Each structure stands twice: as C-alpha cells, then as structure tokens.
Amino acid sequence: MVLSRTHHISQQFDKELEEIRSKVLSMGGLVEELLSHVLDAMSKNDLELAEQIAASDYRVNDMEVDIDGECTAILLRRQPAAGDLRLVLAISKIIGDLERVGDEVKKVARIVSNFSNTGSQRSYYVGVLAMGYHVRRMLRAALDAFARMDSHAALEVAQEDLEVDKELEAVMRQLITYMMEDPRNIRGVLDAVLAARAFERIGDHADNICENAIFLVEGKDVRHVALEDVRQQLEQGRGT
Amino acid sequence: MVLSRTHHISQQFDKELEEIRSKVLSMGGLVEELLSHVLDAMSKNDLELAEQIAASDYRVNDMEVDIDGECTAILLRRQPAAGDLRLVLAISKIIGDLERVGDEVKKVARIVSNFSNTGSQRSYYVGVLAMGYHVRRMLRAALDAFARMDSHAALEVAQEDLEVDKELEAVMRQLITYMMEDPRNIRGVLDAVLAARAFERIGDHADNICENAIFLVEGKDVRHVALEDVRQQLEQGRGT
C-alpha cells in the first residue's frame, strides 16, 4: 500500500492540514449537536428549543465558509501532492454535506416549532423519531470513519443508508393511514412526512461523507458504484 | 486589479480548462434535457417516457465522476494560480449540484411512472408543472450565466429562488385541499407534494450554481449572504 502521508518539507503545512481536519470535526460536532437537540425538541414537544435550533443554522454556515476559504488558500499556497490534495478535496465536499445536514435540521426545527401545544401529534412522530435517531448514529459513525481514516467502517455506514430508505417507506405508509383516518389530521401529518424526508436526506449526506472518506483513504471515487463492488475492491486492496 | 487570466506558459493548459468547461456545459445540457423530458412526461401522462428518464440517471453520474477526476488531475498536474483555481473549484461544486438535479429528476420520473393511466391526477399537477417549468428556466439561466461568466445575470437568477419558495407554498396549500376533499386522493396527492418538493430543490441547486458563478467571476463567497448585500457589493465592484 502506498504511504500517502509523506513527510512534508514544511512542518507548518502538516500543522495547517491538521488544523483544517480538526475544524471539520468541530463542524461535524456542531451539526450532530443540533440534530440531537432537534430530536429532543421533537420528542418533548419543546417549541422554544426548536426555535433556538432554527436560529443556530448560521453557525454551521459560517464554519463552512471559513473552512472552504482555508481549503482554497491551501491549494493556492501549498499546491499539495496527491495524498494531501485528496484530503483537501474530500474536506471541501464533506463540509458541503455537513452544511446541507444543517439545512435539513433547520427545516425539522421549523416544523417542530409549529407544533401546537396539544401534543396530539406525538403518535405521528414515533416512526419519524426512530428514523432521526438512526441517521444521527449514521452521521456520527461517518464522521468517526473520516476522523480515523477507516474506509471499511465508512463502507459499513454507507450500507445502512438502504435501511433508512426502508424505514422511510414504512413510516410513509403509516402516516398515510393517519391522514386517511381523519382529514383534519392531514396538515399535521404532512409535516411529519416532511420531517421523515429530511431525516432520509441526512442519511444520504452521511452516506456521501462515507464515500468521501473512502476516496480519501483509497484514492477511489466510489460514488455511484454498487456497495458490493466497493466491498470487493476494498478486500482486494487488503490482499495485495 | 489583478488580471486573473494571465497567459499560461502552456497553451495546452488553456485547452484543458476550455475542455473541462465545455464538458460541464454538456453535463448541464443533459440535465436540462432530462428535466424537460420529465415535464413532458408529467404533462402528457407518458409513463414509458418517465421510465426511460428514470433509467438515464447513470449518464449524469458518469459525467460527474469523469469531470471530477479531471478537476483532480488538473490540480495535481497544473497547480493553477488564483483565477484558474477558482474555475476548477467552481466546476467541482457545479457538477455536484447538477448531479443532485439529476437525482431529483429521477425521483420525479419515478413518481410519474407510477401514474395510473386514468389521468385523474392531472388537476393536482397544474401548479406542480408550473413550478417545474419555472425551475427549468432558472437552471438554463444559471448555466448561461456560468458559461458567459456573468455575475450580474447569476444574481438575477438567484433572486428567483424566493419566488419558487412562494410558489411551493401556494401549491402545497392547494394540494392539501385536494387531500381533504376526499381521502382516496391522499396517496396520489402526496406524490404531487413530493414532486413539488423535488422541483423546489432543483431551484435551490440552480441558486447554488449561480453562487458558484459569482464566486468564479468576483472571487467572493456569497453563499449565506443576503442577496441585497451581494447586489451592493457587485455594484460597488462596478464603480471602482
């Protein structure tokens, strides 16, 4: 296996790369935190917390702009070779996905902040919440795989995305029955549908983060490649 | 002002950049075409066309992987200076947005391919179709602004995104009434809701493409900046 992390002429450059990686992990930590809070707000009917989350989105955006600017500066100043270039490019994509997760969290926060205080909607959100907890675990595992440069772990997480899609289908089916039961439920249940869709997207972004972690470690673009094929490629890579 | 497009030592490099730009425009053309076709399929209840479109998504994905690989190769081989680097980075983001537009088109195509042959759903789709035509115009205008490196045109398009959001709100309100009228409509109307959401996303991606065109021309990251502020910055830029 090629050692991608050769010694840099400048220790300063190593430090810069390390800083930018740790900023990505901070950004990831913030997004995870907001996602956890929105799940709390949803489960506890906490409208105030939801409003706070919806208003915190700018922090994620600021971090994206900051990190992206540093990526550009590094490319200009350092003209990195293959391994480091991959790191910078992977980071540039990962922060795009994190920013979009932030957008989805904000959408869910807005939905929750419009909950009425009656709590009548609780039953609609049982399956939706389960999806939310699932994609939160996926997001954390995706960021861990990136932090540890572990392409096999990344592949495991990517495979879970298919389960999230199945969960969404089941949730949708259930929500439709609530709508049919009583047309007065329709507006409320439609919000639950949109929240479920937002969680599904977060799963997609976790999946993208994993693909970028694999690209970073293996130097292979595995987007749009069947997961079974990726697994075989990784196994072969181990064998050689 | 620094002239960002200095003569390259190598004419070959100019040619490479030109080629990659034209590939992006081809990819954009393909995505526009698929979007037009899905609108046709939706308006004419053409299930077969919809299925063909859903199966064409891989062409967009292949183009993304191809162009992205070339961007990486250029960064490695050419270590471009500021202006060219911005072009490569803008392209790398624009193709990500185009690929996501392709995903949304595929989702809509799947919805249309599940239309029953009765045509009963036509009325639900009047507003949804109007949204689709609107975002198609936006996407074309965004790609034109990129092709012509016209940041003012890009800003115009970006501003339309707010109109699309308003259209979505009106469409959603109308669709809810259809659901309430008769619970047997719910499943069908829910598909129309999801198609409308997909078109809204396409509008968002057109907006992102515009932001990248502005970044390319002006060297400013205008994501998450209020449009009025961007306009003022561009006006000031003209004045100096």
Over residues B37-66, the mean pLDDT reads 95
Q: pLDDT at position A115, please? A: 85
Q: pLDDT at position A117, please? A: 56
Q: Do B85 and A96 touch (CB under 8 A)?
A: no
Q: pLDDT at position B66, please? A: 96
Residue written as token pair 């992006």: B24
Name the closest residue on chain A to residue B185, using Cα atoms: A180
Average pLDDT for chain B = 90
Q: Find all residues with CB under 8 Å of B72, minimum gap 6, and list them.
A: A85, A86, A89
Task: Report residue B119's pLDDT band, with 50, 70 and 90 as the boundaries.
Answer: low
Type of residue found at A106: K
Task: Report residue B4's pLDDT band, with 50, 70 and 90 as the boundaries.
Answer: very low
Size of interface A-B (CB pairs under 8 A): 71
Q: Is the pLDDT of residue B211 over 60?
A: yes
**Least confident span in A180-184, B3-7, B43-47, B217-221:** B3-7
C-alpha to C-alpha distances, B82 to A74, B5, B217, nearest whole angstrom? 11, 9, 11
Over residues B202-209, the mean pLDDT reads 97
Q: Is the pLDDT of residue B117 over 60?
A: no
Q: What percent of chain A has pLDDT over 90?
A: 72
Average pLDDT for chain A = 90
Distance from CA of B169 to the nearest CA of A (A): 13
Q: What is the pLDDT of residues A181-201, one digit of tens each?
A: 888 889 889 999 999 999 999
**Least confident span in A207-211, B128-132, B157-161:** B157-161
Look at B93 and A220; give whichever has higher pLDDT.
B93
Q: What is the pLDDT of residues A105-147, one digit of tens each?
A: 999 999 999 887 555 567 889 999 999 999 999 999 999 999 9
Length of chain A: 240
Domains in chain B: boundaries: 11-239
Q: pLDDT at position B8, please? A: 54
Q: Is the pLDDT of residue B237 over 80?
A: no
Over residues B97-119, the mean pLDDT reads 89
Look at A234 and B240; give whichever has higher pLDDT.
A234
What CA–CA distance (Å, rounded) separates A141 from A169? Answer: 23
Q: Is the pLDDT of residue B161 over 70?
A: yes
What CA–CA distance (Å, rounded) separates B151 from B160? Answer: 15
Over residues B91-103, the mean pLDDT reads 97
Which ranges of B79-185 would DSSP assign to H, the alpha helix?
82-113, 125-147, 151-181
Q: Is the pLDDT of residue A5 over 70?
A: no
Q: Find all residues with CB under 8 Å of B138, minimum gap 6, and list them.
A: B157, B160, B161, B164, B202, B203, B206, B207
Task: Report residue A152's pLDDT band, with 50, 70 and 90 as the boundaries.
Answer: very high
Q: Is the pLDDT of residue A170 over 50?
A: yes
When CB atoms are compared, the residue of B68, B176, B186 closest to A221 is B68
Q: pLDDT at position B10, please? A: 76
Q: pLDDT at position B238, please? A: 62
Over residues B49-70, the mean pLDDT reads 95
Task: Report residue B1's pLDDT band, with 50, 70 and 90 as the boundaries.
Answer: very low
**Least confident span in A76-80, B113-117, B118-122, B233-237:** B118-122
When CB atoms are compared, the residue of B68, B75, B224 closest to A75 is B75
Provide the sign of the torsion angle of the four alpha carbons B180, B185, B190, B191, taken in this order.
negative
Task: Report residue B120's pLDDT band, with 50, 70 and 90 as the boundaries.
Answer: low
CB–CB of A195/A163 below 8 Å? Answer: no
Q: Do B85 and A75 touch (CB under 8 A)?
A: yes
Q: pLDDT at position A3, please? A: 43
Q: Is the pLDDT of residue B187 over 60?
A: yes
Tell me which chain B residues have a C-beta less than 8 angstroms from the C-beta of A176: 186-187, 190
Backbone Cα Rg of chain A:
20
Q: pLDDT at position B122, please? A: 75
**Least confident span in A42-51, B50-59, B77-86, B106-115:** B77-86
Look at B237 and A161; give whichever has higher pLDDT.
A161
Q: pLDDT at position B3, please? A: 43
CB–CB of B155/B234 below 8 Å? Answer: yes
Look at A50 and A237; give whichever has higher pLDDT.
A50
- Give the best residue of B179, B182, B218 to mutate against chain A (max A CB count within 10 A): B179
For residue A65, give both structure tokens: 């702009």
Length of chain B: 240
Over residues B74-79, the mean pLDDT reads 90
Name the closest residue on chain A to residue B208, using Cα atoms: A96
Task: Report residue B227's pLDDT band, with 50, 70 and 90 as the boundaries.
Answer: confident
Q: pLDDT at position B231, please? A: 83
Q: pLDDT at position A50, please? A: 96
Over residues B132-141, the mean pLDDT reads 98
Q: Do A92 and B96 touch (CB under 8 A)?
A: no
CATH fit for domain B11-239, picks 1.20.58.220, 2.40.110.10, 3.20.20.10, 3.30.70.20: 1.20.58.220
For residue A123, give both structure tokens: 């039953």
